[in-house]
Amino acid sequence: MINDYSSELLDNILLSMVEGIGSRTYQRLLERFGNVTEILNASYHDLSGFEFLKPDTASQLASARRNFDPNVILELCQRDQIDIIPLGDSQYSESLRTIHDPPQILYVKGKILPQDTFSIAVIGTRRNSAYGGRQADRLTAALCSNGFTIISGLALGIDGIAHRAALKSNARTLAVLGSGHHRIYPPEHKNLAEQIVQSGGAVLSEYPPLHQSARWTFPQRNRIVSGLALGVLVVESPMRSGAMISARIAGEQGRDLFAVPGSIESPNSQGCHQLIRDGAYLVESVDDLLNVLGPLRQKVFLFNRRQLPDAIRHPNEMSLNEIERIVLQSVKMSPTPLKDIVTTTGLEEQQIVAALGVLEKKRIIRQLSPTVFVRM
Q: Rounded mean pLDDT of 356-374?
A: 88
Please count the structural domains in the chain: 3
Q: What is the pLDDT of residues 186-239, one digit of tens each?
A: 999 999 999 999 999 999 999 999 999 988 899 899 999 999 999 999 999 999
Which pLDDT score is estimated for 3? Answer: 46
Indicate if the pLDDT at residue 294 is higher than 70: no
Q: Is 312 a domain residue? A: no
Q: Are residues 289 and 147 in the same domain?
A: yes
Q: How far apart are CA 104 and CA 87, in angstroms?
A: 5
Indicate if the pLDDT at residue 305 is higher than 60: no
Which pLDDT score is estimated for 298? Answer: 57
pTM across the whole model: 0.80
Q: Are residues 99 and 168 in the same domain?
A: yes
Indicate if the pLDDT at residue 348 is higher than 50: yes
Q: Is 282 a domain residue? A: yes
Q: What is the pLDDT of residues 126-184, one digit of tens each?
A: 999 999 999 999 999 999 988 899 999 999 999 999 999 999 999 999 999 999 999 99
Q: What is the pLDDT of residues 112-125, one digit of tens each?
A: 988 888 899 999 99
Q: Are residues 332 and 289 in the same domain?
A: no
Task: Give the count of beta carbons closer than 10 Å to the beta carbon of residue 277.
Answer: 9
Q: How far is residue 239 from each of residues 86, 211, 246, 248, 272, measured CA to CA in Å?
A: 35, 29, 12, 12, 8
Q: Are residues 144 and 229 in the same domain?
A: yes
Top pLDDT among 18 and 200 is at 200
Give residue 51's pLDDT band: very low, low, confident or very high (50, 70, 90).
confident
In CATH, what number is assigned to the domain containing residue 128? Answer: 3.40.50.450
Which pLDDT score is estimated for 297? Answer: 57
Give residue 12's pLDDT band: very low, low, confident or very high (50, 70, 90).
confident
Q: Are residues 286 and 331 in the same domain?
A: no
Q: Are residues 212 and 273 in the same domain?
A: yes
Which pLDDT score is estimated for 18? Answer: 87
Chain-centroid distance of CA 84 in Å reads: 18
Q: Is 302 a domain residue? A: no
Which pLDDT score is estimated for 290? Answer: 84
Q: Is 299 a domain residue? A: no
Q: What is the pLDDT of residues 241-252, one digit of tens each?
A: 989 999 999 999
Q: Are residues 252 and 106 in the same domain?
A: yes
Q: Are residues 259 and 146 in the same domain?
A: yes
Q: Are residues 154 and 274 in the same domain?
A: yes
> Mean of the per-residue pLDDT values for the chain?
89
Q: Rounded mean pLDDT of 28-32?
A: 88
Which pLDDT score is estimated for 306? Answer: 43
Q: Are residues 140 and 190 in the same domain?
A: yes
Q: How far apart are CA 202 and CA 193, in angstroms?
A: 8
Percent of the chain whose pLDDT exceeds 90: 62
Q: Are residues 162 and 239 in the same domain?
A: yes
Q: What is the pLDDT of residues 63-103, one digit of tens each?
A: 999 998 999 999 999 999 999 998 888 889 988 988 988 99
Percent of the chain whose pLDDT exceeds 70: 94
Give residue 35's pLDDT band: very low, low, confident or very high (50, 70, 90).
confident
Per residue, the 3-state secondary structure of the chain, as one string, reads CCCCCCHHHHHHHHHHCCCCCCHHHHHHHHHHHCCHHHHHHCCHHHHHCCCCCCHHHHHHHHCHHHHCCHHHHHHHHHHCCEEEEECCCCCCCHHHHCCCCCCCEEEEEECCCHHHHCEEEEECCCCCCHHHHHHHHHHHHHHHHCCCEEEECCCCCHHHHHHHHHHHCCCCEEEECCCCHHHCCCHHHHHHHHHHHHCCCEEEECCCCCCCCCCCHHHHHHHHHHHCCCEEEECCCCCCCHHHHHHHHHHHCCCEEEECCCCCCCHHHHHHHHHHHCCCEECCCHHHHHHHHCCCCCCEECCCCCCCCCEECCHHHHHCCHHHHHHHHHCCCCCEEHHHHHHHHCCCHHHHHHHHHHHHHCCCEEEEECCEEEEC
Q: Rounded mean pLDDT of 41-69?
A: 89
Q: Rounded mean pLDDT of 284-303?
A: 73
Which pLDDT score is estimated for 133? Answer: 97
Q: Which domain holds residue 20?
A: 7-79
Indicate if the pLDDT at residue 302 is higher than 60: no
Q: Is 139 a domain residue? A: yes
Q: Are residues 17 and 45 in the same domain?
A: yes
In CATH, what number is assigned to the domain containing residue 368? Answer: 1.10.10.10
Q: How far is residue 58 from each of residues 50, 63, 104, measured CA to CA in Å?
A: 9, 9, 19
